[in-house]
Structure 1
Amino acid sequence: MLIERNGTLPYNAALAWIAANTELIDQTRMAIWEYAELGLKEYKSAALLADILERAGFTVQLGAAGMPTAIVASYKSRQEEKEKGKGLVIGFLAEYDALPEVSQAATYERQPLIPNGNGHGCGHNLLGAGVLGAALAVKAALDTGKIAGEVRFYGCPAEELLLGKVLMVKAGLFSDCDIAITWHPSSKNKVCGLRHLAMNSVKFNFYGISTHASGSPDKGRSALDAVELMNVGTNFLREHVNSRVRIHYVVTNGGIQPNVVPSYSQVWYYVRAPRRREVEEVYKRVLDIAQGAALMAGVTHDVEFVSGCSDTVPNEPLLAAVQANLVKSGGNRFTKAEKEFARKLIATLSPSPENGRQAAAGGAGGKNSAEGADEVMQEEILPDDGNRGIAYGSTDVGDVSWVIPTVIFETACWPKGNPGHSWQTTAAAGSALGLRGTVLAARVMALTAIDCFTDEDLVRRAKEDFERQTAGTPYKSPLPDDMQLKI
């Protein structure tokens, strides 16, 4: 793939680097896939990425923002180094944390590598390797001497905890960065213009008095009663909040056995809403419910704030730039064997493969799908449908998007209809399907970054759009100032 436009040398240098170093990208994504480390514990994955970047000539900080596995790596063009000026800084956002209980070999038959072990069920091994490829490709473009500036690799731990980027923003690590670019593995090739939900993640701990549940029940105070009362109260609250609010909980500790009144119980809540202020409003009511539950049960309680994140701010000029580069890339072409693997993988999702395929067709873009329902892998680029509505997941990319212009897109790395956070996703992330999507993402990210270095008007319009959307709503970190990081 060659680019035909003015000043083609930086673009073609980046694409040539990716073509020549696909094996490095592949080795990196497979190493991280095999490490399968949970959030804030991605020690091997972070060390691998930091080592590759350092050997490539980047200045590397490992352990940024108080997280041992956070990385900030930068590379400046020779002109930028010489002039010591404030040139344009383009940052790429990488992730590399795994998920629990989705360990799986790269096969369509259920084969956990480690029973109940970790696995890359969200494809973050691909995300990290793709961003690495893009950053090194842009370095190659800077080395042509035709563009000047700085490329920055942000290694962001614990996205699944919705924490890493929030802490990095709070530490001011994006204060001198102009543009942020990232992607996510998916079943689609498209830009992400939807706004992800803001969220709080909080654990409520209740403390009672244990006693024999039958012999002396009057002597005890059940912490589990408080948890159940809180959950009942919250379920009544659902009727009186915005229909787009989402509240989920799991009881993480409900006692050990029935004949002992539980002296300790814990429930873990997520509170989500389309805007940060809405999360705070609902969260305050949930706090009141917890206090009331403790009073009713005659126990005490405390609140453990795990994390919080902001909604995402889509940036129209950057979305248009990414869309153009997706189209220029031409999408992907999967082999017959790869498509057969994908079909067998998606068939495991339902007793009826036909039902799986129907779900796949809807899950890959619905009306915008460039392929029929019989095609299990998305090969073509989907058009930007202009939908700027709500995506009902959450991501800590949102906090970055509230401090600098940020863009996200997706590439097809697994079959249509394949659910995230599943063993099927782990299998695809370790297969050739994942590699194809990763290389495509690296190309698109690199080309978009070079667009920013070569087109001052694009950067100006991106910043104007950012200012327009965030005007009157200054960013405030969702994290309490006294929050203690637990690793």
Structure 2
Amino acid sequence: MRARVKKEKVERGVRGEAGRARELARQIHGWAEPAFKEVNSAGALAAYLEERGFDVEFPFRKIPTAFRASWGKGKPAIGMLGEYDALPNCGPSEGEWGHGCGHHLLGAAPAAGAVAAKVILEETGGKGRIVYYGCPAEETLAGKVYMARDGGFRDLDACLAWHPGSSSGVNNAGGSSLDSMVYEFFGRTAHGASAHAGRSALDGAVLMDVAANYLREHVPENVRIHSVIRDGGDAPNVVPAYAKIWYYVRGKDRKQVDEVRERLTACARGAAEATGTEMKWQRLTGVYERLPSDSMCAMTMGNLELFGGPQPNRKDRERLAEIGQEGTFSRGVEEGTGNQGRGSSDEDNVSWLAPLGRFQV
């Protein structure tokens, strides 16, 4: 199909679903549901795709807010990744949940794109299968990890994902590998006036964090170690019997993260020994670095160049003026630097199961 004809067909298909996509995006933005609690958001997207003729498995593999919607037969099977979880303290008012990373768009736009692709295949008699994966809990880097563990994405020949960005383009490098762990310390409570009779779990957690700070000097420069104490006791004059500290370890690849995680866990064991407490730890989730696909990168880049970046309309510019912002927009697209990003995403796990084309607009 010639580029001009392809562009016209795609634009016509997308225009047909644009109104419904905007409506879904506004609804998901308003619900702003936390990870694994996106009941309304997942339900609305699944219902929309079912209305448009897709076969829907909801929930997917017993994950309550995950689903898979498929249409068509044979090969190739092309996946589209949708997300819809929100973040705390990112809403319009202080303390509210909101879509800091635009996940209301990440759910609605691929769903509308899947329907538009279906319409085009029906018109042209094209073969293949379109598979939309509704993916919860991206912000906690867990949804696609659990879906992949339970058999998701293995039916795909290729997969597409996107994200809002400051420019339009493709970067094949992806993000960093990451592990998320919780370390719990168990001590013995006592009154502060008789603290010698207790064993402070908080001391264990704090001492672990001190050791982690010393560890930072002895890991590769690209490694990042993040932590936050989730539970440290109830009152200063009561020795805490329980404490919990949550860590992220990021690195360039899975091997590097595994090595640093083992050293960090050794810090936890040493802290427990030094404070007379017991320690247990659990890995909550882990994501891989991306497995690059040059062919998917080239295909995605070619289509971005064909269609160009989005352009604001009058209402968009008026809205920018209302909030005191100036926007510069270019229809051009940029090829990524090839440098690995500092952030992490569970979508990179999918790249090890199917070639992934990821772009931003």
What letter matches 1:89 in structure 2? A
In structure 2, the residue matched to 1:196 is 175
Going from structure 1 to structure 2, the CA distance change for 1:197 and 1:344 (only over 3 Å counts) comes to farther
1:323-402 equivalence runs, <5 A: 323-335=301-313, 338-339=316-317, 341-342=319-320, 345=323, 376-385=327-336, 387-402=337-352
Helix, strand or coil for the counterpart of 2:75? coil
Aligned residue number for residue 257 of structure 1: 235
Contact 2:3 2:306 in 1 (8 A): no
CA deviations 1:16-47 (Å, max 9, x no partner) are: 12112211010010010011001111000011
Distance of aligned partners of 1:381 and 1:313 in 2 relative to their CA distance in 1, 3 Å threshold: farther
The verdict on how the C-alpha distance between 1:238 and 1:345 changes in structure 2, with shifts beyond 3 A counting, is farther
In structure 1, runs of 5+ residues without a counterpart are 81-85, 105-111, 348-374, 412-487
Question: Is 1:164 paired with 2:143?
Answer: yes
Greater mean deviation of Cα atoms: 291-300 or 185-194: 185-194
- Mapping for residues 312-323 of structure 1, pairs under 5 Å: 312-323=290-301
Partner secondary structure for residue 391 of structure 1:
coil
Residues 1:136 and 2:115 aligned together: yes
1:416-472 Cα offsets, whole Å, 9 max, x none, are: xxxxxxxxxxxxxxxxxxxxxxxxxxxxxxxxxxxxxxxxxxxxxxxxxxxxxxxxx
Measured after TM superposition, the shift of residue 339 of structure 1 is 3.3
- For residue 228 of structure 1, the aligned residue among 196, 199, 206 is 206
TM-score (norm: length of structure 1): 0.71
1:48 maps to a residue whose letter is A
Distance 1:75 1:11, change over 3 A: farther
Measured after TM superposition, the shift of residue 11 of structure 1 is 5.5
1:403-442 alignment, distance < 5 Å: 403-411=353-361
1:204 positional shift: 0.7
In structure 1, how many angstroms separate the alpha carbons of the residues matched to 2:287 and 2:333? 29
Quote the residue 2:62 is aligned against: 66
2:50 to 26, 51, 54: 54
Structure 1 Cα separation of the partners of residues 250 and 309 of structure 2: 34
SS at match of 2:123: coil
Amino acid at match of 1:94: G
Q: Give the structure 2 partner of residue 296 of structure 1.
A: 274
Deviations 1:126-156 (A, max 9, x none): 0111111110011101111431010000011
**Is the 2:308–2:333 Cα contact (8 Å) retained in structure 1?**
no
Q: Is the CA contact (8 Å cut-off) linking 2:305 and 2:332 kept in structure 1?
A: yes
List per-residue Cα deviations over 1:231-252 (Å, max 9, x = no partner). Answer: 0101111111110000000011
The code of the aligned residue for 2:278 comes to T
Q: From 108, 125, 133, give the equivalent of 1:146.
A: 125
Aligned to 2:222: 244
**Corresponding position of 2:188:** 209
**Paired AA for residue 104 in structure 2:** N
Q: Per the alignment, do residues 336 and 140 of structure 1 end up closer, same or farther by CA in structure 2, a change over 3 Å counting?
A: closer
Deviation by residue 1:303-323 (Cα, 9 ceiling, x = unmatched) = 132111111123222112211
- Per-residue CA deviation, residues 169-197 of structure 1 (Å, 9 max, x unaligned), is 11222222100001011221111223300
Corresponding residue of 1:305: 283
- Whole-angstrom distance in 1 between the partners of 2:313 and 2:155: 43
Q: 1:344 to 1:271 in 2, by over 3 A?
A: farther
Q: How many residues align?
A: 361
Which of 8, 12, 15 is matched with 1:16 structurally?
12
Q: What is the distance in 2 between the residues matched to 1:335 and 1:22?
A: 15
Alignment partner of 2:100: what SS?
coil
Q: Which of the residues 246, 252, 263 maps onto 1:274?
A: 252
1:439 match: none
Aligned to 2:164: 185
Equivalents in 2 of 1:343, 1:391: separation in Å?
A: 32
1:338 match: secondary structure: helix
- Specify which structure has the higher proportion of strand: 2
Deviation at 1:66, TM superposition (A): 2.5
TM-score (norm 2): 0.95
**C-alpha displacement of 1:103:** 1.3
Residue-by-residue CA offset, 1:255-301 (whole Å, 9 max, x unaligned) = 11111111111110000101011100000111111111111110111
Alpha-carbon distance in structure 2 between the residues aligned to 1:100 and 1:399: 25
Name 1:423's counterpart in structure 2.
none
Task: Provide the alpha-carbon RMSD of the alignment.
Answer: 1.8
Q: Percent identity?
A: 36
Counterpart for residue 80 of structure 2 = 92
Secondary structure of 1:14 counterpart: helix
CA distance, structure 1, for counterparts of residue 204 and residue 262 of structure 2: 18
Q: 5+ residue gaps in structure 2?
A: none
Q: SS at 2:139's partner residue? A: helix
